[in-house]
Chain A
Amino acid sequence: MKPLLVVESLRKVYHSRTGLFQQQTTVALDDVSFTVNEGQTLAVMGTNGSGKSTLAALISGAVAPTSGRLVFAGEELEAGNYRQRAQVIRMIFQDADASLNPHLTLGRQLEEPLLFNTKLNARQRHERIMKTLHQVGLLAEHMVFYPHMMSTGQKQRASIARAIILQPKLLVADEALATLDSSVRAQIINLLLDLQRDLKMSYIFISQSPEIVRHLADEVMIMKDGQVIEHGDVQDVFTAPKEQYTELMLMSELQRK
């Protein structure tokens, strides 16, 4: 298996002003290194403020790292260079309400990535949109819907459709499944597994749900205060967690047994 994304000693420090000359530094991410192989799923777990969303922002290029580098398929990624990323790395966010454009119908919204990144003609674009909508469990009639006409679960499915419509190499999902209904979640999980099998897609899953992580991921990375405290095979970490913090994270599952 080829390494798809290599992250080398990534570090991100935020400065916030607290007074006229005083400033507070927050280390959001401290010396994080990992590799994601082709067709592999990495899960990132951690409580609020552990730096997992910063990691997602760095991978997506929305934020520049303080130091360290990201290498995607042998090519170094620069922050803010979306042309480099748009077709190969896509993101799904937690807050589906805020991640869709309220001015555009769903059809237009799904058409935009195709317009900018592919040479498909209008009919092919339409076909691709219909196919993708069907994949995520939406109907053709949803193409004329504006985001406010849909429920939260449907909006999340729409943003998943937007992420997979270009058939990217790497999908970064930041708590994307948390707000979905269980039957829809099962459908999406099946869809993600299908896509991974057919297109050799890699996933980075940021999640707090041990159940989803156990079902989907190959490797899991536990983060605390910006540092990786545990990284290994899902089965190993879940059956014999080394840190007490990990045990606490998995508690909700252990309690049910």
Chain B
Amino acid sequence: MLLDIRNLTIRTKTNIGTVNVLDKVNLQIHEGEIHTLVGESGSGKSLIARAIMGFLSERWDVTADRVWFEGKDLLSLSAAERRDIIGVDIAMIFQDAKSYLDPNLTIGEQLSEAVLDRDLDGSWWQRSKQRKERVISLLHRVGIKNHKAMMQSYAHELSEGAAQKIMIASAIAHRPKLLIADEPTSTMEPATRQQIYRLLAQFHARYGMSMLMISQDLGAIMPQTERISMIYSGQLMETGPAEPLLQKPYHPYTEALLNTSLYRQAESQPRTKLPTLPGVEPTLQHLPIGCRLGPRCPYAKPECIKTPKTLKLRDRMYACHHPVNLED
């Protein structure tokens, strides 16, 4: 088990008091696994990633039974221990790659910052030469052949795909054991998205690094995904291996999302209405009691005002009183 999260709860203060934005979320990532976390905007999927990285500010109160990375508790790290893990063993890439690059530095300068001094040896000129070689090899690894021009360009000159490649290059500089990708491709055109997915899959195959992909669309997830977790409004709905989960979702929410996805409805009749969940996702001030999907769920019964226990069935887990597709 590479990353083991048990009962992660994140609270924040709102005008109606303290609210559990994230409600007892469990997430396990094994070595060498590609895990995709799917949820709509505002469901708290980015909060999980930020809690793992320790990016959350004071106004988010993070508690958990455990957030273990290789047996180390990530929530109680000292600053020195944190430096050894975050950015080295756990790296992260973001949705809006361009805005995460420094506009004042060239790409070459930024990438050489990602190469740590302790990985180099010799006198200072040997080190600087090694540093440059490392940067060039990083660029080659993400498929940028013209490294000279790229190292001299600034962030604003890059296309979205190229900027994301630079982010990936600096993220893999230390061969992280876990790469967290927070919607890395959601604003890209389909061809570029495929390219980024291919690149990530390549690194996964070569270094065996685990990945936590975060996505908002079940139809546009990375094809190589092994496990999928569904999150809705801060509650984990369902976890399981990708193929069976997409073929036969247990949770009504997964089923509903699959129905609304245009990518999965390739044979649908054009200009017909798509089946959707009624209503909107709740605001933080009006979170429903019990199962938060309750008010929108087509199968909801009175007992849904109690939070369902997470049940395990072989290698799949779901939290629902009335799961679908469970007959066999």
The yes or no answer to B307 lying at the interface (CB within 8 A) is: no
Smallest Cβ-Cβ distance to B279: which chain A residue:
A137
Give bound CA distance, A154 to B283, whole Å. Answer: 11
Once A208-B189, A209-B190 are accepted as A-B contacts, the answer to whether A182 and B266 lie under 8 Å apart by CB is no
The yes or no answer to A139 lying at the interface (CB within 8 A) is: yes
Number of B residues with CB within 8 Å of any CB on chain A: 35
Residues B263 and A211 in contact, CB atoms below 8 Å apart: yes
Residues B189 and A48 in contact, CB atoms below 8 Å apart: yes
Distance in angstroms from A177 CB to nearest chain B CB is 9
Partner among A47, A181, A234, A248 whose Cβ is within 8 Å of the Cβ of B217:
A181
Q: Hey, which chain B residues are within 8 Å of A179, CB to CB?
A: 186-187
Of A178, A181, A190, most buried by chain B (CB within 10 Å of CB) is: A181
Give bound CA distance, A215 to B41, whole Å. Answer: 23
Smallest Cβ-Cβ distance to A235: which chain B residue:
B270
Residues B260 and A182 in contact, CB atoms below 8 Å apart: yes
Once A153-B40, A215-B268 are accepted as A-B contacts, the answer to whether A186 and B190 lie under 8 Å apart by CB is no
Residues B270 and A214 in contact, CB atoms below 8 Å apart: yes
Q: Hey, which chain B residues are within 8 Å of A193, CB to CB?
A: 271, 273
Residues B216 and A181 in contact, CB atoms below 8 Å apart: yes
Residues B262 and A252 in contact, CB atoms below 8 Å apart: no
Residues B41 and A190 in contact, CB atoms below 8 Å apart: no
Interface residues of A in 183-214 (CB under 8 A from B): 183-187, 189-190, 193, 208-212, 214
Interface residues of B in 81-133 (CB under 8 A from A): none
The yes or no answer to A143 lying at the interface (CB within 8 A) is: no
Residues A183 and B191 in contact, CB atoms below 8 Å apart: no
Residues A234 and B270 in contact, CB atoms below 8 Å apart: yes
Give bound CA distance, A216 to B193, whole Å. Answer: 23
Once A182-B216, A183-B257, A234-B270 are accepted as A-B contacts, the answer to whether A153 and B41 lie under 8 Å apart by CB is yes
The yes or no answer to A75 lying at the interface (CB within 8 A) is: no
Once A139-B283, A215-B262 are accepted as A-B contacts, the answer to whether A153 and B274 lie under 8 Å apart by CB is no
Give bound CA distance, A181 to B193, whole Å. Answer: 17
Residues B271 and A182 in contact, CB atoms below 8 Å apart: no
Once A153-B40, A252-B194 are accepted as A-B contacts, the answer to whether A186 and B187 lie under 8 Å apart by CB is no
Partner among B190, B219, B285 whose Cβ is within 8 Å of the Cβ of A182:
B219
Q: Hey, which chain A residues are within 8 Å of B159, CB to CB?
A: 48
Interface of B is mostly: loop
Residues A186 and B40 in contact, CB atoms below 8 Å apart: no
The yes or no answer to A253 lying at the interface (CB within 8 A) is: yes
The yes or no answer to A141 lying at the interface (CB within 8 A) is: yes
Q: Hey, which chain B residues are within 8 Å of A138, CB to CB?
A: 280
Smallest Cβ-Cβ distance to B193: which chain A residue:
A252
Residues B283 and A183 in contact, CB atoms below 8 Å apart: no
Residue interface mask A233-257, B partner, CB < 8 A = 1: 0100000000000001101110111
Residues B260 and A137 in contact, CB atoms below 8 Å apart: no
The yes or no answer to A152 lying at the interface (CB within 8 A) is: yes
Give bound CA distance, A212 to B261, whole Å. Answer: 10
Give bound CA distance, A186 to B283, whole Å. Answer: 20
The yes or no answer to A67 lying at the interface (CB within 8 A) is: no
Of B262, B274, B276, most buried by chain A (CB within 10 Å of CB) is: B262
The yes or no answer to B308 lying at the interface (CB within 8 A) is: no
Residues A183 and B260 in contact, CB atoms below 8 Å apart: yes
Q: Hey, which chain A residues are within 8 Å of B263, CB to CB?
A: 211, 253, 256
The yes or no answer to B208 lying at the interface (CB within 8 A) is: no
The yes or no answer to B42 lying at the interface (CB within 8 A) is: yes
Residues B41 and A252 in contact, CB atoms below 8 Å apart: no
Distance in angstroms from B60 CB to nearest chain A CB is 16
Smallest Cβ-Cβ distance to A145: which chain B residue:
B283
Residues A186 and B274 in contact, CB atoms below 8 Å apart: yes
Interface residues of A in 148-185 (CB under 8 A from B): 151-154, 178-179, 181-185
Give bound CA distance, A210 to B42, whole Å. Answer: 27
Can you list 5 pairs linking A and B with CB atoms under 8 Å apart? A141-B285, A183-B256, A190-B274, A193-B271, A216-B270
Leading 9 A-B pairs by shortest Cβ distance? A252-B190, A186-B260, A181-B40, A211-B262, A186-B274, A153-B41, A151-B41, A208-B189, A186-B276
Interface residues of B (CB under 8 A from A): 40-42, 159, 186-187, 189-191, 193-194, 216-219, 256-257, 260-263, 265-266, 268, 270-271, 273-277, 279-280, 283, 285
Other than A179-B186, A179-B187, give 4 A-B pairs with Cβ distance below 8 A.
A186-B274, A186-B276, A248-B191, A252-B190
